[in-house]
Amino acid sequence: MADKLDLSEIGTTGLRRTGGTVFEEFLTALRGRRGAKVYREMSENDPVVGSILYAIEKIILRLDWYVAPATDDEADRLNAEFIESALYDMSDSWDNTLSEILSMLVYGYSFLEIVYKQRGGDSDDAKSKSNFEDGKIGWRKWAIRAQETHNNWLFDVDGGIQGFEQVDPYGAGIHRIPIDKALLFRTSTAKNNPEGKSLLRTAYRPWYFKHRLEEIEAIGVERDLAGLPVAYVPPEYLSSNATAEQAAVLASITAIVQNVKRNEQEGIVFPQMYDEQGHKLFDMTLLSTGGSRQFDTDKIISRYDQRIAMSVLSDFILLGHERVGSFALGSSKIDLWTMAVDAICKSIAETINYHAIPRLLKLNGMKTGNTPQLKYSEVSHVELTEIADYVSKLTAAGAITPNEETENYLRGLAGLPVAEATE
């Protein structure tokens, strides 16, 4: 008699968590909602980080996203047509939905709640408004649940992700959204961590030092322009035995020193008082700058910019800014970058193909054996001059014969329209 099959799960992924709170991130400043605020500041305040994210998003948005049938079977083709119609029949455009999905690049994950509708044509009710009037269940929208509103994750006894707990930003309490009514997009699935890993995680350290250095540099420039303010007061005003009136005067003078700035309202009013020997009791001077500093902050900040870009394979965006780097080197780096962008697109498509599409087919009682697949056009970096030279040499050698299919492919690489068919 064969041994009884053991279907239980014994081990764990090793994800560090307590209840619904994940502690995988070892820096407390980057955990949970606190970390979400840091990543948001990085993405919206830093020009290098912003340009990297903008480039990735625009490349992905310009791709053609389409639904392909699993086979040439008529039923599979109809399923694919239905899924594509549902994808482009949501209240938000596919580009807007894709932009919300791509927030995972900043935060490590994006959680979107699937809201369904029954397609009822041009209805006033949002729950049935559609471009189709076939009564089928479609997607009304994939609604983002902002990372800043995350409260807890819901896990099962084996550590499987079961849902997202959200603090309602409008004071309506706690919302618990089950995973089977949502889509969880992640940049990384290591240890089945629902929070993934922010694309900016390895850029945090250089960003932090750059951020602090820029603040210090700005203060230094302002102080150099204004001069270092120095106030002179009688010794008794600095004594621990100073009277309340003397302490108040000292506090006022200290505030003046700390707030000296060069602007259209600059100016200082100071009392002109002398002691019995004719010496000023109060005085203030501005010490001029001693000249250039020992450190070149511009080079240091540029080094941190480069490290930020390197952390996401995007340092090619800095080529030319420092008068260094060759075209060939930039081209090879762009090729590597496009491979990374392609991996992001693949991750998005797989999540939709494994979860969103089968659920919708099942809700409509459709065949789920061979589910259609969401696909996208090629993410590539093409040097047209190299392609032209390559094709020219192959044609001259008789290795290829130009035809309509080849012509249209080459036109597509250059973004040109397909040639009109000739009779």
- Give CA–CA dist 178/153, Å, rounded: 10
The structure's pTM equals: 0.76
Tens digit of each residue's pLDDT, the chain (423 residues): 567 888 888 888 899 999 899 999 999 999 988 999 999 999 999 998 998 899 899 999 999 999 999 898 888 999 999 999 999 999 999 999 999 999 999 999 999 999 999 999 998 898 999 999 999 999 999 999 999 999 999 999 888 999 999 998 887 789 999 999 999 999 999 999 999 999 999 999 999 999 998 888 887 776 666 566 778 888 888 888 888 888 888 888 888 877 776 665 566 667 777 777 777 877 777 666 555 556 677 788 888 888 888 887 766 666 555 554 444 445 567 777 888 899 999 999 999 999 999 999 999 998 878 899 999 988 875 555 655 665 666 677 777 777 777 766 666 655 667 666 655
The structure tokens listed for 357 are 């599409």
At residue 298, the pLDDT reads 79
Q: Inter-axis angle of helices 47-61 and 94-101, to 10 degrees? A: 140
Length of the chain, in residues: 423
At residue 324, the pLDDT reads 47
> Other CB atoms closer than 10 Å to residue 22's CB: what's the count?
19
- Give CA–CA dist 14/6, Å, rounded: 22
At residue 290, the pLDDT reads 55
The structure tokens listed for 173 are 């309490």
At residue 317, the pLDDT reads 60
- Give CA–CA dist 162/354, Å, rounded: 16
Task: Find, among 184, 214, 197, 203, the residue nearest to 50 by Cα.
Answer: 203
The structure tokens listed for 376 are 């996208």
Q: Inter-axis angle of helices 327-351 and 47-61, to 10 degrees? A: 60
- Give CA–CA dist 181/368, Å, rounded: 18
At residue 264, the pLDDT reads 59
